[in-house]
Amino acid sequence: MKTPMTVAQSLRHARHDFLNELQLIKMNLDLGRLDEVQAIIRTHGEAAVQMSRLSGLKMEKLEEWLLLSQWRYPEFRFHLSCQAVKAPVHLDGLYAETIEALIEAALEGTDPYEEYECFLTFSNEDSYFIAEIRLTGEWTEITVPETELEIVKACGPDGLNIAIRAQMEG
């Protein structure tokens, strides 16, 4: 992983982002754009719900990685959806490291003049925990890291799709 952020650095980033959002809300209120204000508030509320669901999985390293991802990788705009109700906690660090390695590999193929969206979805299917990563943009190839997790990828002009799966114990 990259050099970890200190608590102070994290809080500075959070404060800066919070003030930017407040300024955006104020600007939209001043312009009478109540629908825009409601949309911003709804977006933040939904993001908090998704992060709370992830927190409930007790995957602390993965949660920390996601909390810091927007600041560490400003090239991507991250979106989280957590539908999973259980996770292989013993693989927490491995999931965080694998997702980081995939984002690092994707970073090498980005165009500095393009905007990229990264949709992360966590779900359960039968006895599996699945992390799906979808990146917008045109992708030809990406290097998949060596890991004990099962990884399936698809690259193309419509984006990059990666699924990381592991069977849960019990």
Model pLDDT for residues 101-146, shown as the tens digit of each residue: 999 999 988 888 988 999 999 999 999 999 999 999 888 788 888 8
Q: Is residue 99 part of a domain?
A: yes
Q: Is the dihedral of CA 57, 160, 93, 130 positive or negative?
A: positive
In this structure, what DSSP letter does residue 89 have? Answer: G
pLDDT tier, 1 (very low <50, low <70, confident <90, very high otherwise): low
pLDDT tier, 170 (very low <50, low <70, confident <90, very high otherwise): low
Q: Is residue 65 part of a domain?
A: yes
* Span 86-100, pLDDT tens digits: 999 999 999 999 999
Distance between start and end Cα atoms, the chain:
30
* Span 15-45, pLDDT tens digits: 888 899 899 999 999 999 999 999 999 999 9
**Domain containing residue 160: CATH number:** 3.30.565.10
How many domains would you assign to the chain? 1
pLDDT tier, 14 (very low <50, low <70, confident <90, very high otherwise): confident
CB atoms closer than 10 angstroms to residue 118: 23
84 CB-contact burial (10 Å; exposed 0-12 / middle 13-18 / buried 19+): buried
Predicted pLDDT at 165: 95
Q: Is residue 2 part of a domain?
A: no
Distances (CA, A) of 43 to 48, 94, 113, 154, 164: 9, 29, 26, 29, 26
Domain that holds residue 109: 7-167
pTM: 0.87
pLDDT tier, 2 (very low <50, low <70, confident <90, very high otherwise): low
Distances (CA, A) of 146 to 29, 49, 60, 99: 50, 32, 22, 12
